[in-house]
Structure 1
Amino acid sequence: MILHDMFDRTGSLRAARFLLVFAVLARAIASWAQVAQPEAASGFAVRAAVAGKGFMAVTANPYATDAAAEILQLGGNALDAAIAAQWVLNLVEPQSSGIGGGGFMLHWDATRREVAAWDGRETAPRGASALPGETASHSFARRPDGSLAKYHEVLATGRAVGVPGLVAMLEAAHRRHGKLKWERLFRPAIRLAENGFAVSPRLHLLLRDDSLLRRDAAARALYYREDGQARQVGETLRNPDLAATLRGIAAAGADALHRGEAANRIATAVKQRGGALTAADIGDYRPKQRDAVCGLYRRWHICGMPPPSSGGIGVLQLMGLLERSDAATRDPAAPDHVHLFAEAGRLVYADRARYLADPDFVAVPQRAMLDPGYLEQRARLMDSRRSMGIAAPGKLPAGHAQADDDAPELPATTHVSIVDQTGNAVALTSSIESAFGSRIQVDGFLLNNQLTDFSLASEQDGRPVANRLEPGKRPLSSMAPTFVFDADGRLHAVLGSPGGGRIINYVARTLVALLDGGMDPAMAVSLPHVGNRNGATEIERGRVPETLAQELERRGHALQRSDMTSGLHLIVRVGDAWVGAVDPRREGTARGE
Structure 2
Amino acid sequence: MNMRSVTNAMVFVLVLLLPAGLFAEGGRTPLRVENGIVTSASRLASDVGVDILKRGGNAVDASVATAFALAVTWPTAGNIGGGGFMVYHGEDGHATTFDFREKAPLAASERMYVGADGQSTNMQHRGFLSVGVPGTVAGLYMAHQKHGNLPWADLVDPAVKLARDGIPITYALYDGFRRNQSFWDQFPSSAAVFLKADGSQYQLGDTWKQPDLARTLERIRDEGRDGFYKGENARMLANFMQANGGLITEEDLAMYEAVEREPVRGTYRGYDIISMPPPSSGGIGIIQMLNILEGFDLAAMGHNSADYLHVLTEAMRRSYANRAEFLGDPDFNPDMPVNRLISKEHAANLRATIDMEKASVSDESRFGQIYESEETTHFSVVDKDGNMVSLTYTLENSYGSRIVAEGGGYLLNNEMGDFNPVPGVTNRDGQIGTDPNLVAPQKRMLSSMSPTIVAQNGKPVLAIGSPGGRTIINTTMQVILNMIDHGMNVAQAVEAGRMHHQWLPDRSSFEGMMFSPDTIRLYEAKGHTVNARGNQGSAMGIFHDRETGLYHGSADSRAGDGAAVGY
Q: Which amino acid aligns with 2:52?
A: I
Q: Which amino acid aligns with 2:111?
A: S
Structure 1: unaligned runs, 5 residues or longer: 1-15, 37-44, 130-137, 394-402
Instruction: Answer yes or no: is 1:459 the counterpart of 2:424.
Output: yes
Instruction: Answer yes or no: is 1:581 the counterpart of 2:562.
Output: no
State the distance in 2 between where 1:232 and 1:521 align. Answer: 35
2:146 match:
176
Q: What pairs up with 1:274-313 in 2 under 5 angstroms? A: 274-313=245-284
Structure 2: unaligned runs, 5 residues or longer: 427-431
State the distance in 2 between where 1:220 and 1:463 align. Answer: 36
- Displacement of 1:328 in angstroms is 5.4
SS state of the match for residue 581, structure 1?
strand
Mapped contact 1:27–1:592 kept (Cα < 8 A): no
- Displacement of 1:567 in angstroms is 1.2
State the distance in 2 between where 1:542 and 1:23 align. Answer: 21
- Displacement of 1:61 in angstroms is 0.5
SS state of the match for residue 267, structure 2?
strand
Mapped contact 1:106–1:116 kept (Cα < 8 A): yes
Q: Deviations over 1:326-372 (max 9, x none)?
A: 33553222111011111111011011111110111112110010121
Mapped contact 1:405–1:467 kept (Cα < 8 A): no
Q: Quick one: which of 410, 431, 441 aligns to 1:471?
A: 441
- Displacement of 1:521 in angstroms is 1.3
Deviates more, 1:274-283 or 1:75-84: 274-283
Mapped contact 1:47–1:582 kept (Cα < 8 A): no
- Displacement of 1:22 in angstroms is 5.0
Q: Quick one: which of 147, 151, 173 aligns to 1:203?
A: 173
1:543 match:
514
Q: Which amino acid aligns with 1:411?
A: E
1:506 match:
475
State the distance in 2 between where 1:429 and 1:328 align. Answer: 29
Deviates more, 1:75-84 or 1:271-280: 271-280
1:415 match:
378
- Displacement of 1:234 in angstroms is 2.2
SS state of the match for residue 47, structure 2?
helix
State the distance in 2 between where 1:537 and 1:415 align. Answer: 24
Task: Identify if the C-alpha distance between structure 1 residues 311 and 266 changes in structure 2 by more than 3 Å, giving closer, same or farther.
Answer: same
1:530 match:
499
Mapped contact 1:406–1:456 kept (Cα < 8 A): no
State the distance in 1 between where 2:46 and 2:437 align. Answer: 35
Q: Which amino acid aligns with 1:494?
A: A
1:127 match:
107
SS state of the match for residue 294, structure 2?
helix
Mapped contact 1:329–1:516 kept (Cα < 8 A): no
State the distance in 1 between where 2:214 and 2:368 align. Answer: 39
State the distance in 2 between where 1:217 and 1:482 align. Answer: 39
State the distance in 2 between where 1:118 and 1:485 align. Answer: 18
SS state of the match for residue 539, structure 1?
strand
1:99 match:
80
Mapped contact 2:39–2:563 kept (Cα < 8 A): yes
Task: Identify if the C-alpha distance between structure 1 residues 23 and 155 changes in structure 2 by more than 3 Å, giving closer, same or farther.
Answer: same
TM-score, L = length of structure 1: 0.88
TM-score, L = length of structure 2: 0.92
Q: Which amino acid aligns with 2:351?
A: A
User: CA RMSD for the aligned pairs?
Assistant: 2.3
Q: What pairs up with 1:382-397 in 2 under 5 angstroms? A: 382-390=354-362
Task: Identify if the C-alpha distance between structure 1 residues 406 and 303 changes in structure 2 by more than 3 Å, giving closer, same or farther.
Answer: closer
1:67 match:
48
Task: Identify if the C-alpha distance between structure 1 residues 441 and 492 changes in structure 2 by more than 3 Å, giving closer, same or farther.
Answer: same
State the distance in 2 between where 1:64 and 1:424 align. Answer: 19
- Displacement of 1:147 in angstroms is 3.4
SS state of the match for residue 462, structure 2?
strand
Mapped contact 1:26–1:51 kept (Cα < 8 A): no
Q: Deviations over 1:176-196 (max 9, x none)?
A: 100000000112211111111
Instruction: Answer yes or no: is 1:369 the counterpart of 2:341.
Output: yes
1:9 match:
none
Identity %: 32
- Displacement of 1:318 in angstroms is 1.0
Q: Which amino acid aligns with 2:476?
A: V
State the distance in 2 between where 1:123 and 1:405 align. Answer: 23
Task: Identify if the C-alpha distance between structure 1 residues 546 and 420 changes in structure 2 by more than 3 Å, giving closer, same or farther.
Answer: same
- Displacement of 1:212 in angstroms is 2.2
Mapped contact 2:306–2:522 kept (Cα < 8 A): yes
Task: Identify if the C-alpha distance between structure 1 residues 483 and 390 changes in structure 2 by more than 3 Å, giving closer, same or farther.
Answer: same
Task: Identify if the C-alpha distance between structure 1 residues 150 and 559 changes in structure 2 by more than 3 Å, giving closer, same or farther.
Answer: farther
1:554 match:
525
State the distance in 1 between where 2:200 and 2:360 align. Answer: 48
Mapped contact 1:118–1:173 kept (Cα < 8 A): yes
Deviates more, 1:303-312 or 1:234-243: 234-243
- Displacement of 1:142 in angstroms is 2.3
Instruction: Answer yes or no: is 1:142 the counterpart of 2:114.
Output: yes
Q: Quick one: which of 414, 419, 430 aligns to 1:449?
A: 414
2:429 match:
none
Task: Identify if the C-alpha distance between structure 1 residues 75 and 280 changes in structure 2 by more than 3 Å, giving closer, same or farther.
Answer: same
Q: Quick one: which of 474, 480, 484 aligns to 1:515?
A: 484
- Displacement of 1:204 in angstroms is 1.7
Instruction: Answer yes or no: is 1:185 the counterpart of 2:159.
Output: no
Task: Identify if the C-alpha distance between structure 1 residues 406 and 341 changes in structure 2 by more than 3 Å, giving closer, same or farther.
Answer: closer
State the distance in 1 between where 2:350 and 2:121 align. Answer: 34
Deviates more, 1:172-181 or 1:274-283: 274-283
1:115 match:
95
Deviates more, 1:572-581 or 1:207-216: 207-216
Instruction: Number of aligned residue pairs: give it.
Output: 547
Mapped contact 1:405–1:465 kept (Cα < 8 A): no
SS state of the match for residue 164, structure 1?
coil
State the distance in 1 between where 2:319 and 2:201 align. Answer: 40
